[in-house]
Structure 1
């Protein structure tokens, strides 16, 4: 294998392929999808909801019926019906102890790919310090290496022989924020990611507000999501995957 970030303890791998590579190595995995899967899971658990991640290429509605949960709708439809969705600000205390199935092209898919690892946690800007602290704890127990997976986005209308992954700066900054608090030797890829966050930190909110994904959400009427997801260390909530759903570490 020519592409290899070993013997470093902290690594950065992009998207579904990166999640799969980390799972095959048996690494501790942190899934980072700032706008919005990771931030939604963190916000939902912070309000007591129970989230089951599910890939979008399978029948999430059937799965929700099977486990007695509600399938989360798209943002626009959920707004019309007054229900929670992939929008992190749609969750509040009224959803405490309620079960939801959450699908997404990026974060949920990467979670599904990497589910069978020593520990799979959800990270974003919202909980960067808290999730890093939890992972530092796990690493001392397991001696496993750590891979952070910035999920990125997917290009629309992909033609033959084109890549589908669209790297997203908000996920890269989220990964860098977590690396800022992680212990262990970092790969060159992780060092560059960390340096990017440290350089961007003074104007983090402005950069995410104006980035492509932020502008896309704002254009669809979800500016509040962009503001919410840009907050650094606003939550102590650390989602970890247990028995197909997330619990707070």
Structure 2
């Protein structure tokens, strides 16, 4: 009843939207600007291997990491004390090349987990907006599948049982719009409004993300550099693709009509 199936490019919110997109066979782009998508993009840029896993960071997550010989990453604050990578994108560098990590997050990792059966599951953000749009367009040309962009949003804290806890987040909406404005093909009204939000906000993009609720939350926790990093538009060319159970950089060749790995 509320579907956007008649359009190539669509927008859905959160974990439910990610699952719906995957179930209809769409190329699904999960957008969690602060910070899961940006973190994985940055980690892969430095050559790391990332396995997504839904929270909490507990015994099940430890067992999951163990079966791949991967390190289960801690929360930002605890990781800073121990000097290890985390959900903070700037915690990754050349030293992480070839390292395997399991990364949990309430929004992006959980949405990716629920959308794992999508025809192609990609991660996008401001950092790689043009690159992920280009790759998604080629995949659409190759397969005929639609494209759904998923701004993950955040969650209200201490909600009541009968309340929807999804809190739309402008950083994810703007990240989705940055991707949509680079996509061709018919766009749903929802996608067009999202694209227009990005285009109208572009002159103040970094300022908006710096001062939005999620940006202020990270700054107050001492992670202002994360906000700066994640606000960069088209700073990286890496497109994370969920290959079975882990993210790996995707390179698609339109001329040869195939997808290959870096």
Q: Under a length normalisation based on structure 1, what TM-score does the superposition of the two structures give?
A: 0.98
Q: Distance in 2 between matches of 1:61 and 1:76?
A: 19
Q: Which residue of 2 aligns with 1:108?
A: 109
Q: Which residue of 2 aligns with 1:218?
A: 219
Q: Which residue of 2 aligns with 1:208?
A: 209
- Structure 1 residue 121, shift from structure 2 partner: 0.3
- Structure 1 residue 207, shift from structure 2 partner: 0.3
- Alignment of 1:24 with 2:23, yes or no, is yes
Gap regions ≥5 residues in structure 1: none
The CA RMSD over aligned residues, in Å, is 0.8
SS in 1 for 2:128: helix
SS in 2 for 1:121: strand
Q: Distance in 2 between matches of 1:140 and 1:60?
A: 37
Gap regions ≥5 residues in structure 2: 251-262
- Structure 1 residue 6, shift from structure 2 partner: 2.4
Q: Which residue of 1 aligns with 2:141?
A: 140
Q: Which residue of 2 aligns with 1:189?
A: 190
- Structure 1 residue 130, shift from structure 2 partner: 0.3
Give the number of equivalent residue pairs.
248
Q: Under a length normalisation based on structure 2, what TM-score does the superposition of the two structures give?
A: 0.93
Deviation string, structure 1 residues 65-104 (Cα, Å, up to 9, x no partner): 1110000100000000000000000000001000000011
- Structure 1 residue 48, shift from structure 2 partner: 0.4
Q: Distance in 2 between matches of 1:201 and 1:62?
A: 43
Q: Report runs of 4+ in structure 1 exceeding 2 Å deviation.
A: none
SS in 2 for 1:43: helix
- Structure 1 residue 5, shift from structure 2 partner: 1.0
- Alignment of 1:60 with 2:67, yes or no, is no
